[in-house]
Amino acid sequence: MNRLSALGAALPPGMAAVGIGTAVLGAASYVHLAVAGHSLTTPDMAAVSVLWTIVMSVGMGLFFPLEQELTRIVAARAAHGRGATPVLRRAAVLTTGLLAAVLGVLALLAGPVADRFFGGDLAMVAALGGAFAGLALTFTTRGILAGLGRFTAYGTQLAVDGGARIVLALLCGAAGLHSALAFALVLTVAPLLSLVVTLPATLRACRPGPPVAWPDLVRGLGPLVASTLLAQVMVNAVVMSAQLLAPTQAALVAALLNALVLARIPLFVFAAVQPTLLSGLAGVDATGDREGFARMLRRACAVVTGLSVLGGVVAVLAGPWLIRVLFAAPDVLTRPDFLLLSLGTLGYLLAQVLGQALMVRHRHRAQLAGWLVGTAALVAVTLLPGDVATRVTSAFTAGTATTALVMLWALNRPGGGESAPGHAEGIPQDVESANR
């Protein structure tokens, strides 16, 4: 009991609400794809799978940084008692502009995209655009809610989104629908429903305050988008690299995918911690509490290390057996393979935590540098001679460990861990001076 209490104290406040919502949203992905798989033909299911993959990789890479930047800016303002309404207004303009640009490119390339990914079905391209819109709008409001510490509303949005996906997918299956478009539209309708449910809480939580400068809102987005996309590449590199290096070894590729799903279970837990961690770090940093910042960062690193060790022990001891039982995976991986995957997961989680700290300290380029150097290490190890499974799992470990070490160095080098002095995030200097 004492250990559980200590773990609870180490976690940022509000994790429970976000954790429940994250669990529902995570379960929704499995239910959505499972029902679609039983309802659709193989070509239609392939189209839904491709759309889902694009949304969860490209869409996340483009729009999740909006949530992170808004969380950081709003939390810093809240620590100084300044309202978030100006941030919400400008964020709405920024989100609309970014979404319009993405949809414009998608419209221009609709024909080739439809032919390459969806068998020429332009309606699926439209569904992809709708899913991007749902992500853009929900990530924007989540950033405001997380920055203000309204984690009940944040978790509610996640839960409504996930619950709606489950219900809509089951309704499609029960109605006997065999349309790829119907299952694709679930990714548009569900997030929009969650937005409608939680938008009143978002608006009530916002208060008037001094204006936010455009440079403060957009200057970190470019490096952050690049960092997020590189992180997505790294966390999926094991399977992609195996497919490229050994395209005829289907059994190995399938087994690595199943093993990666098992080894990455701690990542799903961290997804519940991430928004509360970023909000907490931004808040203590804005008040100049250096020791509080360092203490929260150490606790977060301790939590993800504990999660990784716990998950790693299970994966190493029972992984080969579990993937055979759960996924009917071929018996081609060994315990050392699972050990390398678990160590890679630990490195990835530490890089995520340290990257949050760098972002709060306005070190977006240092965060990007970490992912760039780590990606270079991953590629270098992947290209070494030897057994394919050992190469790709070792590359995952080397890439994530290198990323985390570069970020740790950036935080600890002289002047590298300090925020810009005397400047509250999201508030022009002249307005801040007038308020002193």
pLDDT at 3: 45
Output the pTM of the full model.
Answer: 0.74
79 in Cβ contact with 205 (< 8 Å): no
pLDDT band at 225 (very low <50, low <70, confident <90, very high): confident
HEC assignment per residue over the chain = CHHHHHHHHHCCCCHHHHHHHHHHHHHHHHHHHHHHHHHCCHHHHHHHHHHHHHHHHHHHHHHHHHHHHHHHHHHHHHHCCCCCHHHHHHHHHHHHHHHHHHHHHHHHCHHHHHHHHCCCCHHHHHHHHHHHHHHHHHHHHHHHHHHCCCHHHHHHHHHHHHHHHHHHHHHHHHCCCCCHHHHHHHHHHHHHHHHHHHHHHHHHHCCCCCCCCHHHHHCCHHHHHHHHHHHHHHHCHHHHHHHHHCCCCHHHHHHHHHHHHHHCHHHHHHHHHHHHHHHHHHHHHHCCCHHHHHHHHHHHHHHHHHHHHHHHHHHHHHHHHHHHHHHCCCCCCCHHHHHHHHHHHHHHHHHHHHHHHHHHCCCHHHHHHHHHHHHHHHHHHHCCCCCHHHHHHHHHHHHHHHHHHHHHHHHHCCCCCCCCCCCCCCCCHHHHHHHC
Q: Inform me whether the pLDDT recorded for 387 exceeds 60.
A: yes
pLDDT at 327: 62
Q: Inform me whether the pLDDT recorded for 8 exceeds 60.
A: no
pLDDT at 122: 95
Question: Phi and psi (nearest 5°) for 423?
Answer: -135, 110
Mean pLDDT, range 311-337, rounded to an integer: 85
Domain boundaries, the chain: 15-219, 227-412
pLDDT at 377: 97
**CA-based nearest residue to 74, from 157, 160, 141:** 141
- Nearest 5°: the CA angle 380, 63, 306 is 60
Mean pLDDT, range 416-428, rounded to an integer: 47
Q: Inform me whether the pLDDT recorded for 418 exceeds 80.
A: no
Mean pLDDT, range 53-70, rounded to an integer: 85
Give the tens place of pLDDT for each residue, 350-381: 999 999 899 888 898 999 999 999 999 999 99
pLDDT at 144: 94
Q: Inform me whether the pLDDT recorded for 168 exceeds 90.
A: yes
Return d(Cα 194, Cα 340) in angstroms, integer: 38
pLDDT at 423: 45
Return d(Cα 430, Cα 436) in angstroms, integer: 10
pLDDT band at 14 (very low <50, low <70, confident <90, very high): low
Q: Inform me whether the pLDDT recorded for 15 exceeds 70.
A: no
Q: Inform me whether the pLDDT recorded for 105 exceeds 90.
A: yes
Q: Worst-scoring range by mean pLDDT, 124-128, 185-189, 235-239? A: 235-239
**CA-based nearest residue to 63, from 141, 154, 166:** 141
Gap between the terminal Cα atoms of the chain: 46
